[in-house]
A and B are shown apart, each in its own frame.
Chain A
Amino acid sequence: MIKDKSKPGSLLIKGGHLIDPAAKINAPMDVLLRDGRVAEIALPNKIRGGADEKFDARSLIVAPGFIDLHVHLREPGQSYKETIATGTAAAAAGGFTSVCTMPNTAPVVDTAEWVAWLRHPERGAVVNIFPIAAATRLSRGASLTDFSALQRAGAVAVTDDGKPILDDEVMRAALRLGAELNLPVVQHAEDTRLTEGCPMHEGPTSFRLGLRGMPAAAEAGVVDRDVNLAQQIRESRLHVAHLSTSDALKAVRRGKRAKARVTCEVTPHHFTLLDENVGEYDTNFKMNPPLRSASDREAILVALADGTVDAIATDHAPHAAHEKQVEFERAAFGITGLETALALAITKLHREHKIPLTRIVELFTAGPARVFDLRSRGSLARGNFADVTIFDPKKRWTFEAAKSRSLSRNTPFDGWQFTGKVVATIVGGKIVYRAD
């Protein structure tokens, strides 16, 4: 996964404030990385012996490397939108040391060979790649893929993302097989029978713009059914992708209370924006699930704070300009998000909604690591992988889409002023991104 196979040597991160929610650390600490692993965590100036390299982290937060459970890197087959090299460069700039890639590429990643292909060093990834494979052949929602072979090849979960697994029996079978293998099934919860031809959320804005609206119930209905199935099938693991509605959250809460293995992720754009921000048909505000109502966003903010949400995931979905500069109804769904996720979390969740930084770091680290069992990641315990994200929670900056490392520019946040910026990203002990 890391292009450079040479031993990374040692790196001492000095003077920073460590937030490692899994280890319950929130204090000034120095961190020593050696040979791609965490070698030592100690109070300031207590680490003896030298290091090949030192990183001055004074006034900065040092955190376990961020994990994004939901990215579209578009390879194989759509390298005009993004490549693994450009997408992981954007991930590194956003502080992500690991990304989980979605299988809705061309072809669909539904075989062990394609999973292996994604992980091959020749792809040029600069951060760790954890493929999520298709749950059904060609993601058509009919017959299950070979979960076991996909898992052996390195897939950390299965999904038909971009589309739902709608059929009750197929979803039941997927959860059953997932339970046997301890493999999470990721659901793109959308009852497509209710959303055909709908480019945005159903509400006053869609009515005003003369656009057909996706009802909130199209998401909640699927999540409700899936939570029921997860409760029935022992040891099954359901993960709800890009959850966006208040009612879907209620279903997740119900499952969690019943001790079912149900997890969910929320995107930065859903905790930041509303359907009305679509304005006059701005296609950079078009994604699926769509931006929702104020009450949905309110429910999401509560769930982010109270622990119901397990992870912040970007649903980074790059598209070429010609796929977005078209009629709103015909524009591709999706926005890029890797480089703005932390800034949005700090600006919106921490500063505006007073969610503690420790919780935000948890949503980027321990939370997602748990969802897909990414062992030895998501925490900087000694012996874990030396994946570290260093950020300045007070730094003010302006995001410029034109300077993005992604191959695409489809972001609604161009020109936004943020507080909180990634300063360095370290993968396997090597600095893969450093802010200018």
Chain B
Amino acid sequence: MMHRLHSYAMNKAARGSLLGIEHMEGKDILALLKLARRMNPQKPRPLLRNKRIVLLFYEASTRTRSSFEIAAKSLGAITTLVQSSGSSIEKGESLLDTGYTLRAVGADAIVLRHPCAGAPHLMAKHLDIPVINAGDGMHEHPSQALLDAFTILKHKKSFKGLQIAIIGDIYHSRVARSACHLLSRFGAKVTLCGPAEFVPEVAATLTPGLRVSRHVEEAVRGVDVIMLLRVQKERLGGQKIGLQEYIAHYQLTPARLKLAKRDAIVMHPGPIIRGLELTAEIADGPQSVIIDEVHNGVPTRMAILARALGKAK
């Protein structure tokens, strides 16, 4: 088998890899969040001086890519961006061969964004350097869940007993899957809300205690946190539910937000579409923490990279 040819063949992911929230231990998550609180991009620390971090992006990304890059540079690391266009990937190189190549040029860690679920797991199984999942297909987006957790803890004392509504296209969302794993782990009560096409009944099996609701009013009543997800117009096309119908039933409006707790926060992983999943008043309103989330992405990812390369102290 091909991987046997490589002296650095591994079967378990290298220490420091971050493949998903699902199999991460609770204490590991808490330690990362604690570390993130000590990270400050305004005060660069050369923890990762001379470390080479490859950002391997098979999909478009603004937030995740730039914040990983700034996080790495704030820690003194060297970064290289490899994208599918303009690289050998275009010529048909396999994911593993790309991984071996990047390892051979001296990468100390790979941050991978890929349209296929499980791509980081495949790479981690065959490489001896940490692989960080920056979003894999519809599967997980662990750094997003961690920065969201970080954001929530800036506003709420703890996750225990928090009521959280996640509204939108859960089925296609890696953000939602990672968030559910993380929030359920720490005792938050999560309700998933959307039409059946976006929130199939099977979604409730993802973690213990998940609930599915078809009514946004019911889902947001009394909650502490509302997480919205982007709804891709093209996905509504083939579905039974149309765009106008989605807006009428599920858009977060000021009237619906009033049903939540007075101090509820509104989150969204971006990119937001004003007038679709939320109104402009909500996006720019006092309860919105959408920009904070982006901001918190940098210290969170600094912590992830420091942990990956064993400089977590």
Contacts and interface: CB of A to CB of B under 8 A. Distances in A.
B118 A281 contact: yes
A210 B177 contact: yes
A322 B100 CA distance: 14
B201 to A, nearest CB: 10
B2 A321 contact: yes
Given A321-B1, A321-B2, 9 more contacts: A203-B202, A208-B177, A208-B206, A210-B137, A211-B137, A280-B23, A326-B95, A328-B116, A328-B118
Contact of B202 (A204, A211, A322): A204
Contacts of A207: 171, 200, 202-203, 205-206
A367 B118 CA distance: 40
Nearest to B119: A327
Nearest to A203: B202
Interface in A257-293: 280-281
Nearest to A280: B121
A232 interface: no
B2 A208 contact: no
Given A325-B2, A327-B122, A209 B95 contact: no
Contacts of A212: 138
Contacts of A202: 202
B139 interface: yes
Contacts of A409: 1
A412 to B, nearest CB: 15
A204 B23 CA distance: 16
B122 A281 contact: yes
Interface of B: 1-3, 22-23, 94-96, 114, 116-119, 121-122, 126, 136-140, 171, 174, 177, 200, 202-203, 205-206
B10 to A, nearest CB: 14
Nearest to A401: B1
Given A325-B1, A326-B94, A211 B203 contact: no
Given A209-B139, A210-B140, A281-B118, A326 B96 contact: yes
Contact of B118 (A203, A204, A209, A321): A209
A210 B122 CA distance: 15
A329 interface: yes
A353 interface: no
A-B pairs with lowest CB-CB distance, top 10: A210-B139, A281-B118, A210-B138, A327-B116, A210-B117, A204-B205, A328-B118, A321-B1, A207-B202, A329-B116
Contacts of A281: 117-118, 121-122
Interface in A149-182: none
22 contacts: A203-B202, A207-B171, A207-B200, A207-B203, A207-B205, A207-B206, A208-B177, A210-B117, A210-B138, A210-B139, A211-B138, A212-B138, A321-B1, A322-B94, A325-B94, A325-B122, A325-B126, A326-B94, A326-B95, A327-B118, A328-B122, A329-B116
Contacts of A210: 117, 136-140, 174, 177
Nearest to B96: A325
Interface size class of A (residues with CB under 8 A): 20 to 34
A110 B1 CA distance: 33
B208 to A, nearest CB: 12
A211 to B, nearest CB: 5
Nearest to B177: A210
- A-side interface mostly: loop
Q: Which of B1, B23, B174 has the most CB of A within 10 A?
A: B1
Nearest to A402: B1
A330 interface: yes
A281 B200 CA distance: 22
Nearest to B118: A281
Nearest to A212: B138
Contacts of B117: 209-211, 281, 328-329
Interface in A406-433: 409
A330 B119 CA distance: 10
Contacts of A209: 117-118, 139
Contacts of B177: 208, 210
Q: Which of B23, B114, B122, B177 has the most CB of A within 10 A?
A: B122
Q: Which of A204, A211, A280, A330 has the most CB of B within 10 A?
A: A280
A110 B96 CA distance: 37
Contacts of B137: 210-211, 329
A249 to B, nearest CB: 23
A408 B206 CA distance: 35
A209 B23 CA distance: 12
A330 B2 CA distance: 17
A296 to B, nearest CB: 15
B45 to A, nearest CB: 34
A202 B203 CA distance: 12
A139 B126 CA distance: 37
A325 B118 contact: no
A322 B22 CA distance: 28
Nearest to B138: A210
Contact of B95 (A203, A280, A327): A327
A409 B2 CA distance: 12
Contacts of B96: 325-326
Contacts of A203: 202
A322 B1 CA distance: 8
A280 B137 CA distance: 14
B109 to A, nearest CB: 20
Contacts of A327: 95, 114, 116, 118-119, 122
Q: Which of A209, A326, A329 has the most CB of B within 10 A?
A: A209
Interface in A320-364: 321-322, 325-330
